[in-house]
Amino acid sequence: MGDVRAGSSSGVPMGMPLTCAAPTDLPGSRVTVSLVDMGMSPMMGGVAPTGARMLLVARPATVHSGPVSVVAANSGWRTHELVVLPIDAGAVAGRRVPGRDGTVDESGSIGEASASCATGHGEGIVSGAVGWVTVTLAPGHYELVCNLENHYADGMHQELVVTG
């Protein structure tokens, strides 16, 4: 599975141990994403508050065009997801404006990993689980986001550059 878990060597705080792994034979380039919420515990239910510290860290942040398998590991306490969104020319990652529901517009989404211990869409990647999706990406810029309520505003986004 490789190191999909957040850890001190990656500069991301340690979190929940992972209970499942993505297949080792996923097609194309592989991007490993750590989903982490910091300073929270299982006792904190409900919606994530605005201003909470959360991270989404993707490695590598640059891949070649073609099939790309994105593996998202939730080392945090809260449920998370991962959505792949295109970035318009001249736009910058992290600048989307959340709506009243605390989420950003997913129009044009390329794919989503939101199933625990499985590929594709689901009810979210629960704490300690891994989800994955394989997408075909053309050269350009994309944004990897957790689009659950307030998670984007709390820092769960990163740019992914795809080269020719």
Q: Does any domain span residue 1?
A: no
Tens-level pLDDT at each residue, the chain (164 residues): 343 334 434 444 456 789 999 999 999 999 999 999 876 555 556 777 787 889 999 999 999 999 999 999 999 989 999 999 999 888 999 999 999 999 999 999 999 999 999 999 999 999 999 999 999 999 999 999 999 999 999 999 999 999 99
Q: Does any domain span residue 32?
A: yes
Q: How many domains does the chain contain in total?
A: 1
* CATH number for the domain that contains residue 84: 2.60.40.420
Q: Which domain holds residue 68?
A: 8-163
Instruction: Note whether 10 and 34 are within 8 A (CB).
Output: yes
Instruction: Note whether 85 and 25 are within 8 A (CB).
Output: no
Q: Does any domain span residue 3?
A: no
